Structure 1
Amino acid sequence: MRDHQRRRAHRRRPGPLPGRRRRGRGPGRHRDRGAPEVTEPPRVPVLNIANVLTMSRLVLVPVFLHLLFAEDGRDQAWRLAAFAVFAIASVTDHVDGNLARKHGLITDFGKIADPIADKALTGAALVGLSLLGELPWWITVVIAVRELGVTLLRFWVIRHGVIPASRGGKAKTLVQIFAIGLYLLPLPDALHAVAVISMYAAVVLTVVTGVDYVIRAFKLRARGKRAVAGA
């Protein structure tokens, strides 16, 4: 009798409904538990504090030139004012870079605009000092040719990638700013030799880092071509 009841209960036990899977089983559920969610990185807006500081450096260039040429550059008060504007604009270069790295505000626009703003500021100062007869033109030409050449290289390889500023390039910029600052200040003749030595050091770093940028640009372009050919 008991065996008969067991066989009847077994026949009555309902099976799984068609189209439904038991809880905790099936390849789909197992895959969802183990696979990490893929999320796209947030887009960084172009209009951010780092890029605003970069553009403000460009805005300060004509202000600096106006102060530099006031009274034919011979008045100490105007020269100190020009030095102050140049120093403030130079500090923004350090600040915007730190903000971009710290808060994740690095953009392709910033990578291009930041060195352009630097070159506009230092170039304006060098040309201004040469026009005033205080800096040899050959120094201005060497630095200007290098800076223009690096800028053109950046645009030449921009479809393959962006060449970020190297440590040597940053050191070159710091030495250039220091040397230009000394030339802008109304220093006594005894300290003029310090300004000259600093400027020569800036010229050497300018040439060496320029060669480095040329090598990096050709390597980046070659990698880009290989990637396109292998795609």
Structure 2
Amino acid sequence: MADEPVPVAVSPYNAANILTVLRIVMVPIFVAIVAATSLTGTGSRIAACLVFCVASATDYVDGWIARRWSMVTSFGKIADPIADKALTGSALILFSIYDRLPWWVTVAILVREWGVTLMRLWVIRYGVIAASRGGKLKTVLQIAAIAWYLWPVPEPFDVVGPWLMGAALVVTVVTGGDYVVQAVRLRRGN
């Protein structure tokens, strides 16, 4: 037998997981800023946008750190998508509460997001459904659209926000269908 590599235990107390927890902690801060100001006032919208963007950036950085330095943990696999859904989901819900975004858009995106997360858990013993390029594009579009809605963009440029959100919605729904196909194939293949 060839020498097989010995698995190395990775501490859950690592930089990647700390960033994930930081993102989770930033969600109520973001919600508090938006709720306290009802998305009115330039300063508060800028503050909410900056908190959202910093929290969103931790998603990229924590994943990069985890992969680069082999710090992938079970905690991170579960907490990271929950942190992502909490951040974007709270923004979408707040937009709908304050009549900035139709509820049907928020519901469609949230059903897809939580549905894919639950589906991944449903098939996890058969294998992992990795994030696709479409899924990564979906994330970028959602973040861009949410940031555009948050930032006090002057007219006539404010019309870009609904177009970004529309693109995010389309890519979100299409990639959701792709994940369903992958999950069914994974379950049938084992």
TM-score, normalised to structure 1, is 0.78
Q: Given the alignment of the two structures, is residue 66 of structure 1 paired with residue 32 of structure 2, yes or no?
A: yes
State the alpha-carbon separation in 2 of the partners of residues 89 and 71 from structure 1.
19
Q: What does the per-residue CA deviation read over 1:6-59, in whole Å, with 9 as the maximum and x for residues that have no partner? A: xxxxxxxxxxxxxxxxxxxxxxxxxxxxx6433422122222211121121111
State the alpha-carbon separation in 1 of the partners of residues 81 and 179 from structure 2.
13
State the alpha-carbon separation in 1 of the partners of residues 70 and 37 from structure 2.
44
Match of 2:183 in 1: 217
CA RMSD of aligned residues (A): 1.4
Match of 1:41 in 2: 7
Match of 1:135 in 2: 101
Match of 1:205 in 2: 171
Change (3 A) 1:37 1:156: closer
State the alpha-carbon separation in 1 of the partners of residues 5 and 100 from structure 2.
57
Match of 2:18 in 1: 52
Contact 1:111 1:162 in 2 (8 A): no
Q: Kindly provide the amino acid, as one letter, of the partner of residue 125 in structure 2.
A: R
Q: Given the alignment of the two structures, is residue 173 of structure 1 paired with residue 139 of structure 2, yes or no?
A: yes
Contact 2:34 2:45 in 1 (8 A): yes
Match of 2:49 in 1: 83
Matched residue count? 190
Match of 1:164 in 2: 130
Q: Given the alignment of the two structures, is residue 103 of structure 1 paired with residue 63 of structure 2, yes or no?
A: no
State the alpha-carbon separation in 1 of the partners of residues 149 and 167 from structure 2.
14
Q: Give structure 2 stretches of 5+ with no counterpart.
A: none
TM-score, normalised to structure 2, is 0.94
Higher relative contact order (CA 8 A, sep 6+): 2
Q: Kindly provide the amino acid, as one letter, of the partner of residue 132 in structure 1.
A: Y
Q: How far apart are 1:167 and its partner, in Å?
A: 1.5
Q: SS state of the match for residue 189, structure 1?
A: coil
Q: Given the alignment of the two structures, is residue 151 of structure 1 paired with residue 117 of structure 2, yes or no?
A: yes
- Which of 156, 162, 169 is the matching residue for 1:196? 162
> What percentage of residue pairs aligned between the two structures are identical?
53
